[in-house]
A and B are shown apart, each in its own frame.
Chain A
Amino acid sequence: MSLLEIHGLTASVGDKPILRGINLTVNAGETHAAMGPNGSGKSTLAQVLAGNPAYEVTGGSITYKGQDLLEMDPEVRAQAGIFLAFQYPVEIPGVSNAYFLRAAYNEVRKARGEGEVDPLEFADIMEEKLALVDMDPGMLQRSVNTGFSGGEKKRNEILQLAVLEPSLAILDETDSGLDIDALRTVADGVNKLRDRNRSFVVVTHYQRLLNYIVPDFVHVLAGGRIVKSGGKELALALEEKGYDWLTEGEPVGVNA
């Protein structure tokens, strides 16, 4: 059984169809890259997997660990091991990062039938996780993402990924807005978290990220469909030739 199976998935925002029939299978331990021009639907795919209510699924199916994912609320998906690293992490003034992370960690543990951890135990866990993403412990006392730089926000996403230890991590344009040093740090963190039981879907506009997070498969989206799939060398071809050679005759934008 595959970890994730997507068949004929269509989704829209308001009246606007964005995904027009996505088929994708992800097995345990695989890293898939989803690339494509703006408006191709790659970020929508990420949001739909996490259950963002702003997107309406209009057809098709998603099976995760043999269960109907579309029937699950976002928090249930997270508790079942799905994690989305946001392109634009949300600022939550007034809620400390430490409190939020521990609340999330305990909710996920509860769902797995494990006991909650107290603040002291959690501090020990955090020490190791912070080192993984090279983050200053002071960040834990600040409000979630509030006043964080772009790099700090993305690092905070990877920290959450490290804490929640998902089975399927979706990185939505984690490279956007990062300089090369920040990109390396974030990618290093992700690479340390790769193992044969954890799968990744890496959504990106640029091939550059894939130099650091090397995928097993690359999919090119255009007009809400996967128009080409291949190995990591496909990403290099895209970097050289752009998207046009793949998308001719395909509707590129969502309104096409």
Chain B
Amino acid sequence: MTAEATIERVVTAATPFEDAFRALIEGDGAQAPAHIQSLRSAAFEAFRRLGFPTTKNEDWHFTSVAPIAEHDYLHITTQSGDVQRSALAPFLFGRSEWHTLVFVNGRYAPELSNTSGLPKGVTLLDLRRAWQEAPQLTEPLGRLTRHDDRAFSALNTAFMHDGAVLHVDRDVEVDMPIHLLFVTDAVAAKSMMHPRNLIVVGRHAKATVIESYVSLSDAVYFTNAVTEVSVAEGATLHHYKMQREGMRAFHVGTIEARQARDSHYISFSLSTGGSLTRTNIYTTLAGEGCGATLNGLYMLDGEQHCDHQTLIAHVQPNCFSRELYKGVLDGQSHGVFNGKVYVDPIAQKTDGKQTNNTLLLSDKAQIDTKPQLEIFADDVKCTHGATVGRLDEQALFYMKSRGVSRALARELLTYAFAADVLETIEQPSVREELERMTLRRFMTVADDR
């Protein structure tokens, strides 16, 4: 009896996706190469088995995905929406000349994209074109990340149909950032998108990739993205994730990187949108002499819930990692930071530092922070720490005693809190845009008081 009941529950949980999955594999999705088709089926099997995680799952302890699970979603398989180029301007960091792939409601929009002038040795394709024209480039899909114990990654893999494939040949340095822009409009209401991206940076190559998730509407929709990243020997990748979804959207985004020796992976994650969002950023330092930097900023208000989970896996000696996540929480928002640094028994001389600082602007805002070190080597230097604080009353008084209004003092102090993590952004246009966003956000908040 018990076993039957369990099976029934799991089947029920997966049922809304069964039809959509069948429609995909029997329809448009049948164009995918054979290995992708079998990957999809295995992943859907995994999702059936896993169901959505509950808060009993340690990785989801502070985040209930019930709001995501209780909706039925349409899977949009054709081009849709009415997005004009001009509507994208606020999301382009003032740099429309950057190489940009635009996806509207989960589907590649060539008419809005700009891939002209890509340097020799750089291939940037949408996923469906990649597996038609350069299927060998898509071979790593599913190998740099796993989905057998991750429901959302399994769901993404099952529905993988569109996304970006970037391949940078060895020794090629791409100066101009490459922007992957996922935008939704009102047509996305009640639908789900499963963008799947693959970024491969060759030996001694260098690139900057920005992944943006933005919306032109306040519709309820569900983005479930997975990005696989390979950083080859001596290569460098700057990888920015900008989560600026609509305020009623659900977003689960996973980035998983694998680094070869002497490679550098520099990640920055911004989260300001969505009603319930989860960002996973995982990197494995799989060779000696690697560096990983995982920084981020989340700014929440209202009833937003935003969860970040990071994993830095040191599995070889002589690597370093730095992590700084900052949160500014207002209203009744709820932030979660769960960061793990794992150090394998052979990963001697690991140098790791992890910090999470949160500023609470209201009495009802809440943060759950869980920085974790799991160290199995005995000759390492690793530290971690978390702070939660409010605006410094002494500093507020000091500023007011110079004639600065309460609103401006509050804004400056909030901005100052976020400033040091923003300063770590190397790409000047991205940094300036985020600085502007941060200032703007708190000017509005301050004026409300």
- Which A residues form the contact surface with B (CB < 8 A)? 50-54, 73-75, 77-79, 83-84, 86, 89-95, 99-100, 103-104, 107-108, 111, 143, 160, 164
Q: Please tell me which one of the listed residues A50, A94, A107, A143 contacts residue B405 in the complex, with CB atoms under 8 A apart.
A: A107
Select B397's contact among A53, A91, A99, A103, beta carbons within 8 Å. Answer: A53
Chain B residue total in the interface (Cβ 8 A):
24
* Cα A38 to Cα B278 with chains together (Å): 54
With A52-B397, A53-B397, A107-B408 already in contact, the answer to whether A92 and B403 are too (CB < 8 A) is no
**Could you tell me the distance between the alpha carbons of A52 and B395 in the complex, rounded to whole angstroms?**
11
Partner pick for A73 among B400, B412, B413, B420, CB 8 A cutoff? B400
Q: A90-B395, A103-B408, A107-B408 are in contact. Are A50 and B401 (CB under 8 A)?
A: yes
Q: Within the assembled complex, what's the spacing in Å between the Cα atoms of A91 and B392?
A: 10
Contacts A/B (CB < 8 Å), 27 sampled: A54-B393, A54-B397, A73-B400, A74-B397, A75-B400, A75-B401, A75-B405, A75-B406, A78-B401, A83-B401, A83-B402, A89-B398, A92-B395, A92-B398, A92-B413, A93-B420, A94-B415, A94-B417, A95-B412, A95-B416, A95-B419, A99-B412, A100-B399, A104-B399, A104-B404, A164-B402, A164-B403
> Does B420 lie within 8 Å of A75, measured CB to CB?
no
Q: Which residue of A lies closest to B409 (CB)?
A: A75
Distance in Å: Cβ of A207 to nearest Cβ of chain B: 27
Closest chain A residue to B408, Cβ basis: A103
Chain B residues proximal to chain A, CB less than 8 Å: 392-395, 397-406, 408-409, 412-413, 415-420
CA distance A75 to B404 in the complex (A): 6
Given the interface pairs A75-B403, A104-B403, the reply to whether A92 lies near B416 with Cβ below 8 Å is yes
Residue from B402, B412, B419 in contact with A78 in the complex, judged by beta carbons closer than 8 Å:
B402
Taking a contact as CB atoms under 8 Å apart, the answer to whether A74 and B417 are in contact is: no
Q: How far is the CB of A229 from chain B (nearest CB, A)?
A: 27
Contact A74 B400 (CB under 8 A): yes
Q: How many Å lie between the Cα of A111 and that of B392 in the bound state? A: 25
How would you classify the secondary structure of chain B's contact residues: helix, strand, loop or mixed?
A: helix
Residues in A with CB closer than 8 Å to B401 are 50-52, 74-75, 77-78, 83-84, 86
B404 is contacted by which of A84, A86, A107 (Cβ under 8 Å)?
A: A107
In the complex, chain B residues whose CB is within 8 Å of the CB of A50: 401
Given contacts A51-B397, A94-B415, A95-B413, 19 further A-B contacts (CB under 8 A): A74-B397, A77-B401, A78-B400, A78-B401, A83-B402, A86-B398, A89-B398, A90-B398, A92-B395, A92-B398, A93-B419, A94-B416, A103-B404, A103-B408, A104-B404, A107-B403, A107-B408, A143-B416, A164-B402
Bound CA–CA A73/B400 (angstroms): 8
Q: Give the Cβ gap from B262 to chain A, nearest Cβ, in Å.
A: 33
Give, as a whole number of angstroms, the nearest-CB distance from A153 to chain B: 12
Cα distance A79–B401 in the bound complex, in angstroms: 9
Inter-chain CA distance A74–B404, complex, in Å, is 9
Contact A93 B416 (CB under 8 A): yes
A164 to B415, CA, bound (A): 24
User: Nearest residue in B to A166 (C-beta to C-beta)?
Assistant: B403
Q: Chain B CB within 10 Å — which of A74, A79, A107 has the most?
A: A74
Task: Decide: A79 and B403 in contact? CB cutoff 8 A.
Answer: yes
In the complex, which residue of chain A has the Cβ closest to the Cβ of B402? A104
Bound complex: CA A52 to CA B415 (Å): 23
**Interfacial chain B residues near A111, Cβ < 8 Å:** 403
Q: Please, how many angstroms separate the alpha-carbon atoms of A181 and B78 in the complex?
A: 76
Give the Cβ gap from A116 to chain B, nearest Cβ, in Å. 13
**Residue of B whose beta carbon sits closest to that of A94:** B416
Chain B neighbourhood of A77, CB < 8 A: 401
In the bound complex, what is the Cα–Cα distance between A7 and B419 (angstroms)?
45
> What is the CA–CA distance of A108 and B405 in the complex, to the nearest angstrom?
10
Determine the distance from Cα of A52 to Cα of B412 in the docked complex, in whole angstroms. Answer: 19
Q: Closest residue to A82 on the B side, CB-wise?
A: B401
Closest to B416 in A: A94
Query: Which 10 pairs, one residue from A and one from B, show the smallest C-beta to C-beta distance?
Result: A94-B416, A78-B403, A94-B419, A104-B402, A90-B398, A74-B400, A75-B400, A108-B403, A107-B403, A95-B416
- Could you say which residues of chain A place their CB within 8 Å of the CB of B392? 90
A5 to chain B minimum Cβ distance, whole angstroms, is: 21
Q: How far is the CB of A32 from chain B (nearest CB, A)?
A: 19
CB distance from A164 to the nearest CB of B (A): 7
What is the bound-complex CA distance between A51 and B397, given in angstroms?
A: 8
